[in-house]
Structure 1
C-alpha cells in the first residue's frame, strides 16, 4: 500500500489535472441536466430575472447549440481524463500492474458517481438555480465553439440523412390518440359527464365577469414594500397562496409573489412593488378575457379594479383552474370552504352572502328579478341602501331575505331565503 501512495505522490501534477477535469465534467453534466429540466414557467422567470438569469434564458433559446456545447465539453473533459489515467497506469512498473488497475478502477467509479450521477441529480432538484450559476462559463464555451458550430450542425444533419434516412420525428399528439381518448370516454358514462361539466365550465367563462369570481379585497392580507417572507411567521398563511405587496405610498396591490413555487434563496429576498407585477383588469371584463390576458402577459394574478380605478379584489390562475374543474363551481366554497346554498326546510334555504345570483336562480329553478349586483350580499346592500345588519329583512321578487348572522372577522354573511307561495 505504501508503494501505491509513493507512486501517487510522484505524480501529483497528473492527479491535480485529473481532479480539475473531473470538476469540468461535473460542471457540464450539471449544466446539461439543469438547462433541459427547465419548464416554460422557469424559462419565463429567467427571462425576467437578473443578468445571469437572462443569459441562461438566451442559452436555452438555442437548445441545439447549448446541447452541442455541453456534450462536446463533457466529451473532451472525459477523453483528457482517461488519457491522463492511461499515462498514470503506464508509469506503474510491471510488478505493480495490479495497483495501477485498482487506481484506474477507482478513477472510473469516481468519474461516474461524482461527475455524472451526483451533479445531474443535484441539477434536477434545482434546475433554475443551477442554470443561473452555470450560465456565464457555459456561455463562454458556446461562444468559443461558435466558429465550428456550422460544421458540427452539418455533420449532424448529414449523419441523420445517411444513417437514418427514413427517420421521422414523433408528433406531440396524434389524431389517433385523440380518437382513442374519445372512444374510451364514451365507454365510461361517469367520465363523459365530468368532461361535459368541464366543457360547460369553460364556456361559462365567457359569461362570468371578473367581479363574480374574484377574491374580495376585505379578505386579502397585504404588505407594504419592502417585505420579506419573515412577515408570514406572525400571520396565517395567505389563503390566496400569494404574498400581496402594495405600492409604497398607497394601498393598491402592485405585486403578487407565489408562495407555492419558492426556492431557498427566495427566503432571504426583499420583495417590492415591482418584484412580480400583477395585471390590472376592469371589474366587468369576462373571466375568459382575463385568462387570455394573464397568459399573454405571463402573469398569475390579476388585480380587479372598479370604475374609479380602485382595487376591489384579485383573480388568480388557480382560482380560474379550480372553477374549470370543480363539479359545482362556487366562490363561497372556494373562499370559505362552505356550501353556498343549503336547503333547510320546505321553501327555505340558508344562503351564503357570496352566492352568485345566477347560480341561485338555477338552484331554485325559478326566474328571479334582474339586478346590477351579482351576489346575495351585494343585492342586500342594493335593496337596503346600506351595509346589512343581523335581523334585516327585505322582499325580493318571490323571495323574502333575512340576515341571520354576520361574522366579525371576515364579514361572512348568512342569509335565510324563504320562497313565498
Structure 2
C-alpha cells in the first residue's frame, strides 16, 4: 500500500484536485463570454477566438465534456483519498473501517467541491475572457479525447431509457420559466440587460397568463360604424376617431358583420371617382376570439391569419370589445403613442399609501404598485372590482370598505364617473402604525408626485 504521508501520494491528490479546478474554471469561463464579445474578438483577429466561439456555441458538447471530466476526476479524488487514508484513520481513532471511510468520503467531497469547483468557477466567471482564451485549447483537446466515451455514455443512456431517436438531446434538461427569470435578473445585476429590457422580457413571460379580456378595448370605448351609413358618414367617423380600421355592425354592436379599412374606402373612391353605394361591399371578414383567449396564442393567430384586429366576444356571444396587434405589443413594450392617441390618465401618487387610478387599471398592476392583495378572481380591473363590491351603478363619492372584498386595510373612493362608467378611483392603504395612515400623511402636506401616464392598454383600435 502507498504511504499516505509520502510526497508522491500527496502530489497525486494535488494534481487531481488542480486538474479538477482548472477544468471547472475553464468550463465556466468559456460559457461566460457573451456571444457579442466573442464576435468582437474574432473581428480583432484573436487566434483563439474562433475555437472559443465554436465550443461555446455547442452547448451539448460543452456540458457533456464538463460532466464526464469533472465527475471522473471527482471520483478518482474521493476513491484515491479513501484508498490512502481509511485504514490509517480507523487505526488512529479506533473506529470501524466503515465509519472511517464515511469520514474520508465526506471530507474529500467537501474539499473537491470547495477548492475544485465552487472557487474555480467563481474565478472563471470573474476573469472569463482571459481564462477562456488561455484555456480553450486544452479544453478542446480534452473534449476531443472524451468524445468517444461521451457518445458511448449517451448511447447507453438512450438504451436504458428507450430513446432511440438521433435528435440531439437537450443536455440542459428542462429549463423552467423561473430559471429564465433568474437568468434575466442576474443579467440585469451584471449590467448585461437594462431594466427596461428586463421588464420587456418579463412581459413576454406574462403573455401566457394574460387573456384577451385584459388587453381589449372594451365595448363602451369602441369606435364603430353602422352598415347603413353612407360612405361619406363612415369616412367622417373614421377620420374623427383617428383610426385606420373600424368594425361595421348591423343594427346592434353585438352583430358585427365585418371590418372596414379606410384604405379600401379611399381606393374605391379613387378608382371609381364616386362614393361607394354601400360600405357593406367593402368590409373584410371579422375574426372573433373569446375573452378567455391567452394573448400569446392570440398574437400567433393574428400573425398567421394576417389580420390586425379581432372582436372579443363574451360567454353569451355578445361583443365584449376588440383587440389589435398594437394592444398586444403594448403589453410587452409599453404604450405606443401616435399622433391620434390622446394621452390617457394612468395613475397619480398622492402619498406612499394613497393613489388615484384610472378605473381601467389592471388589478395586478395596482397590487404590484402598492404591494396590495386586491382580489382578481372575479374582476380584472379596478372598475370591475368597484362594480362587484357595490352591486349597483357607482356614483361619485361612493366609499367602499376593503373588508367587503376581503382586504380590510384598503379603502376605495369613486372620484369621477361618466354615466354608468367609472373614470377614476382613489385607493388608500390604511396603515395602522402610531396612528399614522397614508391619508393623514397626505393631509399633513406631502406633495403629490408627478402625474403618470399609462404605458399600455391605450384606448385605440390601432392605426
Structure with more contact order per residue of length (Cα contacts < 8 Å, sep ≥ 6): 2
Q: Which is higher, the Rg of structure 1 or of structure 2? A: 2
